[in-house]
Chain A
């Protein structure tokens, strides 16, 4: 074929043979050097042609410089709309962690790879209709190795179905729905459990804190949003198990304009502990009404939800003081490496680390940890690696107590909620004692 008639990119037969020969010589040389360098002798006697692929690759990479790989990780979160308050800080946490990993040369994989991670951000627009569509688009992209999302209870099960059908590993950094991992999605993994399970921690914590202070609660009321009915059941079950008299279990919904009547009843019936799962606006209203009525239970504690919202303290100011909240991370926790992350965040962004960002950072740590163990860059290999995750708290910037180890359904069995209390306008960790950086103020000082 004449040079001028060639199709661009096409090579001549002669050049093809030249290149093939060079490649064969090169590969042979690498293989010979690899055999020669193996001192333990266990694998040198194994003919290359019959060795398992993994072993062969390992021998080859023992001396060859690792090849650089880039993987795309989908981050499917609500970045706009009503749930964006959850999505953005988590995604910021991911980006922060991936930047740190990439700046350090990527994930070191013993199978001859240094893996750089590229986040692919996709916005669910806080819409339960949009989220599955975007999941479908992401899942059908062959270059996406894993997706994390969606922190949007109304959409998460549909999204999980899509990814299950397309066999895309889904790593959930936080979501309320327990059904996510109890519905048979074998490639789905979650770091904190759903709210039904997680809400038990606040009951346990308030019990232990009150007992340790010598003034335990005896008669408690549980107030929870009607959107999470099983949370109320879980809290009641746990409280009953711990010997509390559950005076009332109250379901309310977002239409509730005023909590005065409810609080009058609880105060007059001698309820000395409030255990809550409430939305942001309702958390503020409840505290305002408690103050208005000069109602002073020994402790007021909430699982996630409104008490964790940055607007809770910003709005209530001193009235938020000594309120207790079960969260995922507090900056004063006794966790290896946490200070470095918190300080670097402050230096990089100029702001304090948001309460939800460590969920993204920890999920990124799980992704990196799994990538460091995969034998090949495939979804199947990553699912396998995720299922074998066993990370300690503080390991590789995993900041969510108490480490990460998934069971067969994909739930992190090592998880423990850290419970904090607003002291001096800042959330301080007060439980569990081995992680907590501070002491609880118990009982809550009276309003007056």
Chain B
């Protein structure tokens, strides 16, 4: 009986954390699918969203969720600027150059955060962090519930934009064949910049949603980039259902492992899964060529 309860509990936590991983990976997947750049600085925007929420709570005395209002314009602007200043000059360069560029950016953002916010690991504690939402004996914190539900909503919004709007058609056209898209009159760099900014904004919103139950410090950005990379490899490029499934895989693996084994094993299982997938199905579980 206790075992069933523990497994159910682990699944509940894993599902809702996994959904936030899917949201965090969405922008990472967009950037890779459209620009063919593995942007290891992506996690830095999650970190940025977390610090923004922290400061909103600490300095403005408002709920950390209000930070979404600031996160959307700030992340869009920073994302656009990063794309214009860093990735446009590097476009057309070999993949490894862009990979190193992303890694360099990640280190830059980590050190900038260290300078701005210090090295301390910080967190917030609001009522929603400790308020339990339970069905029978199985429950999660209200903050985790909000993060999971908001992630699903955000993913749905982005999927709608990509698959049901004129802008989304341009994004998919650029992703499939940038030269052909350009010949059709699509301003490729402008579309890329907008898609990059959209991805960065989803990452920052993910950070805002995470802060009520996850502590933040400057190195957390790279940790989230690694998680996003694992989700992307498992899911494959250009698939929203794939992102959801892979995010849940990551969340549930972590949660179940933590219930029975030292949690370091979670990463072992995840990376073994990644290696196996790369051998057996390199395009990922649901992967296509592009978005």
Contact = CB atoms under 8 A, between A and B. Distances in A.
B264 A261 contact: no
Interface stretch (B61-69, B182-190, B212-220): B212-220
B6 A288 contact: no
A381 B98 CA distance: 58
Interface stretch (A78-86, A165-173, A368-376): A78-86
Interface stretch (B100-108, B236-244, B253-261): B253-261
A81 B130 CA distance: 31
Nearest to A447: B130
Contacts of B251: 257
B24 interface: no
Interface in A39-84: 80-84
A255 B255 contact: no
Interface string A227-259: 000000000000000000000001111011111
Interface stretch (A155-163, A207-215, A315-323): A315-323
Contacts of B132: 292-294
Contacts of A260: 9, 13, 140-141
A256 B6 contact: no
Interface stretch (B72-80, B85-93, B119-127, B155-163): B119-127
A84 B115 CA distance: 12
B277 to A, nearest CB: 20
Contacts of B129: 288, 292
A261 B10 contact: yes
Contacts, number: 115
Contact of A257 (B2, B17, B123, B124): B17
Interface residues of B, number: 41
Nearest to A82: B119
A292 B144 CA distance: 12
B179 interface: no
B263 A126 contact: no
B37 interface: no
Contacts of B263: 226, 252-253, 255-256
A265 B130 contact: no
B288 interface: no
A280 interface: yes
A154 interface: no
B267 to A, nearest CB: 6
Given A84-B119, A126-B119, A281-B215, A258 B262 contact: no
Interface residues of A, number: 41
Interface string A259-281: 11110110011000000000111
Given A257-B254, A258-B17, A288 B259 contact: no
A292 B141 contact: yes
Interface centre among A250, A259, A289, A292 (most CB of B within 10 A): A292
A335 interface: no
Contact of B121 (A258, A280, A291, A292): A280
B20 to A, nearest CB: 10
A357 interface: no
A5 B194 CA distance: 79
A257 B220 CA distance: 12
Contacts of B141: 260, 288-289, 292
A265 B2 contact: yes
22 contacts: A81-B119, A82-B217, A83-B119, A84-B118, A84-B119, A226-B262, A256-B263, A258-B144, A258-B213, A259-B258, A261-B13, A261-B255, A280-B120, A280-B121, A280-B215, A284-B125, A291-B130, A292-B129, A292-B132, A311-B120, A315-B124, A316-B125
Interface of B: 2, 5-6, 9-10, 13, 17, 114, 118-125, 129-132, 139-141, 144, 213-215, 217-219, 223, 251, 254-255, 258-259, 262-264, 266-267
Given A264-B9, A292-B131, 16 more contacts: A251-B262, A255-B254, A255-B264, A257-B254, A261-B10, A261-B255, A262-B259, A265-B6, A268-B5, A269-B2, A280-B215, A281-B121, A288-B129, A291-B130, A317-B125, A319-B125
